Amino acid sequence: MELFWLAIGTIVVGVFGCVAWFWGSNWILDRIYPPRGPNAGDNIRKANQIRPWLFLGPAILFLGVYLVYPIFDSLWRSMHNARGSEFVGLSNYAWHMGDGKFRESMRNNMLWLLVVPALSTLFGLIAAQLTDRLKWGNIGKSLIFMPMAISFVGAGVIWKFIYEYRAPGEPQIGLLNAIVQALGGDPQLWLTLIPWNNFFLMIVLVWIQTGFAMVILSAALRGIPEETIEAAILDGASPWQVFFKIKVPQIMGTIAVVWTTITIVVLKVFDIVFVMTNGQWGTQVLANLMYDWMFRGTPDYGRGSAIAIILMLLVTPIMIWNIVNARREVR
Exposure string for 260-298, b = 16+ CB within 10 A, e = fewer:
bbbbebbbebebbbbbbbebeebbbbbbbbbbbbeeeee
Q: Which of residues 163-202 bind another protein (CB under 8 A)?
A: 164, 171-175, 178
Query: According to CB under 8 A, which residues from 82 to 121 bind another protein?
Result: none
**Nearest-angstrom CA–CA distance, 205 and 202:** 5
Instruction: Identify the residue among 32, 143, 231, 252 touching another protein (CB under 8 A).
Output: 143
Task: Say whether residue 259 binds another protein (CB under 8 A).
Answer: no
Q: Which of 83, 102, 90 is nearest to 300 (CA)?
A: 83
Q: Which of residues 265-304 bind another protein (CB under 8 A)?
A: 265, 267-268, 270-271, 274-275, 287, 290-291, 294, 301, 304
User: Is 53 near another protein (CB under 8 A)?
Assistant: yes
Positions in 11-40 near another protein (CB under 8 A): 11, 14-15, 18-19, 22-23, 26, 30, 35
Task: Say how many C-beta atoms besides its own lie within 10 A of residue 41's C-beta.
Answer: 9
Pick the stretch among 105-113, 190-198, 227-235, 263-271 that binds another protein (CB under 8 A): 263-271
* Contact between 161 and another protein per CB under 8 A: yes
Q: Per CB under 8 A, does 261 bind another protein?
A: yes
Among 123, 125, 188, 202, binds another protein (CB under 8 A): 123
Helical H segments across the chain, by residue range: 2-32, 40-63, 69-78, 91-98, 100-132, 137-145, 152-162, 175-182, 197-223, 226-234, 239-241, 248-250, 252-267, 271-276, 286-295, 301-330
Point out which span in 46-54, 88-96, 183-191, 224-232 binds another protein (CB under 8 A).
46-54
Task: Using CB under 8 A, count the residues that bind another protein.
Answer: 117
Residue span binding another protein (CB under 8 A) among the ranges 154-162, 193-201, 228-236, 242-250: 154-162
Distance (Å, whole) CA 227 – CA 133: 17
Looking at the Cβ atoms of 164 and 198, the one nearer to another protein is 164
Residues 6+ apart with CB under 8 A from 18: 58
CB of 268 to another protein, least distance (A): 5
Q: Does 244 bind another protein (CB under 8 A)?
A: no
Dihedral sign from CA coordinates of 277, 278, 284, 285: positive
Q: Is residue 49 a contact residue for another protein (CB under 8 A)? A: yes
Answer yes or no: are the C-beta atoms of 102 and 96 closer than 8 Å. Answer: yes
Task: Name which of 79 and 267 has its Cβ closer to another protein.
Answer: 267
Binding another protein by CB under 8 A: which of 79, 116, 119, 144? 144
Cβ neighbours of residue 271 closer than 8 Å, sequence gap 6 or more: 151, 152, 153, 156
Q: Is residue 153 a contact residue for another protein (CB under 8 A)? A: yes
Residues 195 to 234: which contact another protein by CB under 8 A?
207, 210-212, 215-216, 219
The yes or no reply on residue 74 touching another protein (CB under 8 A) is yes
Q: What is residue 87's three-state secondary structure?
A: strand
Whichever of 29 and 198 has its CB closer to another protein, that residue is 29
Nearer to another protein by Cβ, of 229 and 257: the residue is 257
Largest alpha-carbon pair distance within the chain? 94
Answer for the pair 258, 121: CB distance below 8 angstroms, yes or no.
yes
Report in angstroms how near the CB of residue 279 gets to another protein at its nearest. Answer: 14
Are 198 and 111 within 8 A, CB to CB?
Answer: yes
Judged by beta carbon, residue 111 or residue 150, the one nearer another protein is: 150
